[in-house]
Amino acid sequence: MHLAMLGIPEILIFMVVLPICLAFFAFWVWMLVDCIRSPALSDGEKIAWTLVIVFTHALGALIYLFAGRKRPS
């Protein structure tokens, strides 16, 4: 479908929702990579957090960011 065939609401949805979805996806990948590469987490913690992030998507990534991510001292 061409953009010329879309009405104003569809174009706004395309221009607003798509970047938000891409931002959430990038955040999800960032938290997943951070979890896997974190030297502060044990192997068991990495597996558990990876499963949480993978199966709960953006919500799991947010939970990991605030509850599971250990910042370097």
Cα separation, 18 vs 37, whole angstroms: 28
**pLDDT score recorded for residue 65:** 94
Please report the pLDDT score of residue 7 as a whole number: 67
pLDDT for 26 beyond 90: yes
46 vs 3, 40, 54, CA distance in Å? 43, 9, 12
pLDDT in tens, 9-23: 777 778 888 899 999
Instruction: Check: CB of residue 38 under 8 Å from CB of residue 46.
Output: yes
Site of tokens 């929702």: 17
Between helix 43-63 and helix 8-37 the angle, nearest 10°, is 160
pLDDT tens-digit profile of 27-70? 999 999 999 999 999 999 999 999 999 999 999 999 999 998 87
> Where exactly are the structural domains of the chain?
26-73
